[in-house]
Structure 1
Amino acid sequence: MSIEVSQLTRFFGRAPAVRQLDMSVPGGAVTGLVGPNGAGKTTLLLMLAALLAPDSGTIRVAGLDPVTQAREVHRTVGWMPDAFGTWDSLTCTEILLTFAAAQEMDADTARTRAVEMLTLVHLDELARTPARVLSRGQKQRLGLARALIHSPKVLLLDEPAAGMDPRSRADLRALLRDLASDGTTVLLSSHILPEMEEMVDGVVFMSHGTALPTPSEQGRAEAEGPGGAAHPVPTRRTWRMRALDAGRLSEWVHSAQPSVTHEEDGTVRLPVDDDAAAARLLRKAVEAGVEVVSFAPLRGALEETYLAMEGERR
């Protein structure tokens, strides 16, 4: 596991922001952090980034202790807060060079890296533009470039897509998937659940400063007894398939994929592990003579799970 948290607690005055939190996050994956306002998500991310000390409990980020090894954690972690927060008079390039210098990168490497990062987030044409004239979405993209300037092993993102246009959000999804494929651990917090659903491998639900079990996990814990950290819940998605001949689709799907849900219009819902599994399933359907008209992921499953959780019912 790349991130391990045990009995983590942080108070602000008498109010607990995070309380006795146990959590494990795997390396080389994109994990979502989901919860209502005031759940403790930002406080948790700040402690993981070695920017806020816990009152009690232990943290390990890539094997490092943010309390006793804060500088090493800063070199290992890329941190993107929900607000840009930098010097508006500096240009995009100057901001990245400043943060590269803080990471003790040599000047030549920093300049090369700054150009690469601005190109990556499609801000290369604004390299000499002061930050004060950037839009909210452009500042978010610059904040992402700033977090990546030193090639971190762990990336912590707080509402990274806020203010971004649809094209930038699509680019963000692709970038995070690529980073995870290269071994980077990504932990992101967002309230945009349909957007998060398309980019994460699993989620951790939080409320009132601690991790929540899903209904299935809660039932298992009651049967087996408590113990152990909260692990990300895999986001196995549901896809909807429609064909010209609903009867032929129904006949094929029962032989190929038993776990299906039929809808009144003749379409079926199928649980699919990932995009590669979806591609294989579609190929099998076509090879079996099913004339598929549409096949696409069903959005909203993550939101349904979130709303169904006992701790979040109103």
Structure 2
Amino acid sequence: MSLPPGEVIALVGPNGSGKTTLLLILSGLLAPDSGWARIGGVDPVERPFEVHSFVGWMPDFFGTYDDLTSLEYLELFGAAYKMPAAQSTRRARELLSLVRLSDKSSSPVHTLSRGQKQKLGFARTLVHSPRILLLDEPASGLDPRARIELRDLVRRQRDEGVTVVVSSHILTELEEMSDHVAFVDAGQCRGVHPLSLLPHGGAARRYKIRALNDVETPLRAAGVVFERISPDRVVIETINDESAADILARLTSQGVRVIEMTPVGGGLEGAFLAMEQGDRA
């Protein structure tokens, strides 16, 4: 597996596929049983402290020092990276502002909600301005608005030249923030693909169509498989995006007033399901 630099790479696979193990190896916290790994050109087994200097690691579950305030918590990690006290405080305030926790700077960590602790953990990951981020389930415990904010934060890091490797079971979130996807299963890489060129293994694509007038008659006449889900909405099955575009063109040319046509589940979900179906075949 070779992951491109300067982009957001999604790690996708079923439970137990090895995603977290891979991230632990890359972060220099776990030695592989066999084989080797390099991150930023550095061997994380032989030179783990060098890796720690330019990699930011955010695990799914992380401990917090509950008696510290949010500001003190980040200052502590600044000190661990041997930052001068004034610089550490300045960086901590910058990061609290970045993750929208400035109003919690004096609050003890134990008073924060799960989602706020998650955002504080993301801020901690950025204390030493790493050039590579390894994020394991970063959206865990976040409400919908916080997830949108996290997605924007991840993309902002990418835009600043940071490489981000992120694992999550929320495929729609991954699809909206990622540039590439690496499929992992049973400890093996099943392929690394640009998000725009995902393999689907021939699996049908599903699209939701909403129209102001009759859409079922022209779909039926064209032989399109569909399911009615409400009086003005249907879900169709087609083989790819090009076929879906042809169907939309046919409907509008026949006077159907389509006001919405969106994929159901997204391309990443379809590619993941196609991979699993291939395993069962």
Deviations 1:244-289 (CA, angstroms, capped at 9, x unpaired): 9999xxxxxxxxxx934258xx6369xxxxxxxxxxxxxxxxxxxx
Mark the runs of 5 or more structure 2 residues left unpaired by the alignment.
199-204, 219-240, 251-256
Aligned to 1:300: 266
1:38 paired with 2:4, answer no
Instruction: Give me the CA root mean square deviation.
Output: 3.0
Q: Is the 8 A contact 1:96 1:146 kept in 2?
A: yes
Within 1, Cα distance between the matches of 2:34 and 2:52? 21
2:192 aligned partner, one-letter code: H
Matching residue of 1:18: none
The structure 2 residue matched to 1:120, chosen from 87, 93, 98, is 98
SS of 1:261's equivalent?
A: helix
Given candidates 69, 74, 81, the residue that maps to 2:59 is 81
The amino acid that maps onto 1:144 is: F
Q: Is the 8 A contact 1:84 1:139 kept in 2?
A: no
Task: Determine the C-alpha separation between the residues in 2 that align with 1:181 and 1:203.
Answer: 18
Out of 141, 146, 157, the residue aligned to residue 135 of structure 2 is 157
Does the aligned pair in 1 maintain the 2:208–2:263 contact within 8 Å?
A: yes
User: Quick one: which of 167, 179, 189 aligns to 1:211?
Assistant: 189
Could you tell me how far 1:299 is from its partner in structure 2? Answer: 4.1
User: In 2 relative to 1, CA 241–311 (structure 1 residues): closer, same or farther, beyond 3 Å?
Assistant: closer
The answer to whether the aligner puts 1:197 opposite 2:175 as a matched pair is yes
Query: What 5-or-longer segments of structure 1 have no aligned partner?
Result: 1-22, 213-229, 248-257, 270-290
1:205: how far off? 1.0
Q: 1:50 aligns with which of 28, 37, 44?
A: 28
Measured against aligned partners, the alpha-carbon deviations of 1:166-189 in whole angstroms (never above 9, x if no partner) come to: 111111111111111211100000
SS at match of 2:35: strand
Q: Residue 267 of structure 1 corresponds to which residue in structure 2?
A: 248
Structure 2 residue 76 is matched with structure 1 residue 93: no
Q: 1:244 to 1:36 in 2, by over 3 A?
A: same
- More strand, by proportion: 1
Contact 1:207 1:311 in 2 (8 A): no
Count the aligned residue pairs: 244
Residues 186-211 of structure 1: CA deviation (Å, up to 9, x unaligned): 00000011111111111111111111
Q: What's the counterpart of residue 231 of structure 1?
A: 192
Number of the residue aligned with 1:282? none
Percentage identity across paired residues of the two chains: 50
Task: Quickly say closer, same or farther: Cα 1:293–1:43, change in 2 above 3 A.
Answer: same
TM-score, with normalisation over the residues of structure 1?
0.70
1:27 aligns with 2:42: no
Amino acid at match of 2:90: T
Change (3 A) 1:29 1:298: farther
1:194/1:87 CA distance change after superposition, 3 Å: same
Q: Secondary structure at the match of 1:206?
A: strand
- Indicate which of 89, 98, 107 corresponds to 1:111: 89
**2:43 paired residue among 53, 58, 65:** 65
Equivalent position to 2:153, from 160, 175, 184: 175
**Separation in structure 2 between the aligned mates of residue 292 and residue 180 of structure 1, nearest angstrom:** 36
- Deviation per residue, 1:8-28 (Å, 9 max, x gap): xxxxxxxxxxxxxxx111111
Shift of 1:159: 0.2
What's the CA shift for 1:241?
8.9
